[in-house]
Structure 1
């Protein structure tokens, strides 16, 4: 089950890569790594209620983009979540 893959033990290289990636993203978004991880976990928890996803291919980032009025930048949540299948609702 893909959701259970999310809890599998990662090797030290994967852990270091994930931490660095999270640190870079959180720095760009002016958001702590703990908050970023909490957001990611909440998104996964909600989405897996309705569909089976590929947690390995999951990519969630908070970046900055120009505001529509051109008055500075605003944070943007970008999520790339590969969907394997929709769950049947009964």
Structure 2
């Protein structure tokens, strides 16, 4: 969460130490939650598909992660919205 705030305020640090620390944290959270990186990527793709029906989003800046605290795991999604759509797009069979 602090990373997101720092990026918004322009204080993002690209040091290899911070990158390695964040990757390790994500690996540990995934291990504790029993979720593979492939499953998280599939979830990300499907979230993009569903949300794109209602709003135009910045897919490249979208972030999806799992956070854990004690006995709980939370899905955290940071989805930059470009604009809302006036009508809902539905799939036709």
Match of 1:61 among 65, 68, 72: 65
Unaligned runs of 5+ in 2: 1-18, 89-93
TM-score (norm: length of structure 2): 0.58
Q: How far apart are 1:55 and its partner, in Å?
A: 1.2
Asked if the contact 1:62/1:76 (under 8 Å) is kept, the reply is: yes
The answer for the alignment partner of 1:84 in structure 2 is 82
- Cα RMSD of the aligned pairs, angstroms, is 2.4
Unaligned runs of 5+ in 1: 1-16, 67-72
Q: How far apart are 1:28 and its partner, in Å?
A: 5.1
Match of 2:53 among 38, 49, 56: 49
Q: Partners in 1 of 2:44 and 2:37 — Cα distance?
A: 10
Q: Where do residues 19-30 of structure 1 align in structure 2 (5 Å cutoff)?
A: 24=27, 26-27=30-31, 29-30=33-34
Instruction: For CA contacts below 8 A with separation 6 or more, give which structure has more relative contact order.
Output: 1
Q: Partners in 2 of 1:55 and 1:76 — Cα distance?
A: 21
